[in-house]
Structure 1
Amino acid sequence: MPKSSTAHFIALAVLIVSIAAIVSAITLLPAAAQEDTTYVIQYGDTLSQIAMEFDAQIECIADANDILVNLILFPDMELTIPGDCPPYGAPVVIPPGIQPAPGDWTVVMQPREVVLLIAEELNVSAEAILVYNRIVNAFSLRAGTTLVIWEDAPPFGIVPPLRIYNPDT
């Protein structure tokens, strides 16, 4: 091989190795952590609209602000929008802090299932399922959502639940 061809070959090899090193370094960088945001409620705001605007799961925002049920939002109220929330509309998993206790069980929602039908099938209050799992909007649930059903849940048809479950007590 002539000297110029060898030099070109070496230069090309160095370039390829350099590009590969840069690409692997970029892909190995951890994702930048998103910071929490404080949002001041405006007249007419709903939790669903706020979650959609910030592309954050409704239940994540509700959990971060200790909202256990649908809450009337008042102007000038402040909500924390966690930077690490799953995206809006993502399947809901067992919320942080809610773990099945002995005697509780979990249900993974299947395509075309709704909480009301699951509640009826299990003879458990649908409202109790929503409260226990800190779910604000039952329509946000998707296939793959894991629900925790507590052992002493009231029977189907009891609204509101006989006792409000508060996992923090």
Structure 2
Amino acid sequence: MEKQDDDLIRDLKLKDLNAYHKLIEYYGEKLLRLAYIIIGDYQLAEDALQESYINIYRHINHFNEKSSLLTWVTRITINNAKQALKKKNKRAWNPLYHSINESSNSPPLTYDIIQKEEYEKVNKTLMSLPIKYREALYLHYYEELKIKEIANILDIGESGVKSRLQRGRTMLEEMLRKELD
């Protein structure tokens, strides 16, 4: 897909709207799942992803091609999802917000998988992990990215990724054991 990415990057820099449709087609579902894993709310994840697309459009000429296009758009999505999570957490402490807006029971991304009880438990537990472990685990196990790719996306060293994965797995295992007891 490297040649395809080169063509896509060129067209994106030319502000070709068809290229933006291709970007969404190629990466949209992955980026939405990532935003959802970070935020835990489907609607806010969609909003964060829309903000990411706007940022990509505005800043595509700053993309220096040192990393892959996927790495760059993933980093933008992570940043926007973290911003949305901060806003969500601020609202959580505002009683007026809760009296006006009922808490959202967001639809899951894939209904057939979410129906499985084990998946729900793991997903719920994963969502309760600190974000730095959650995003590393998601990128490694759900998106099947290599340590080096995750390091580029998260802008940390490979040893940092390995450490986050190990600590995240340990925390996840401990939390799941407590839930099963």
Q: Tell me which interval the TM-score lies in, with the shorter structure as reference length.
A: under 0.3
- The structure with the greater share of residues assigned to helix is 2
- The structure with the greater share of residues assigned to strand is 1
Structure with greater Cα Rg: 1
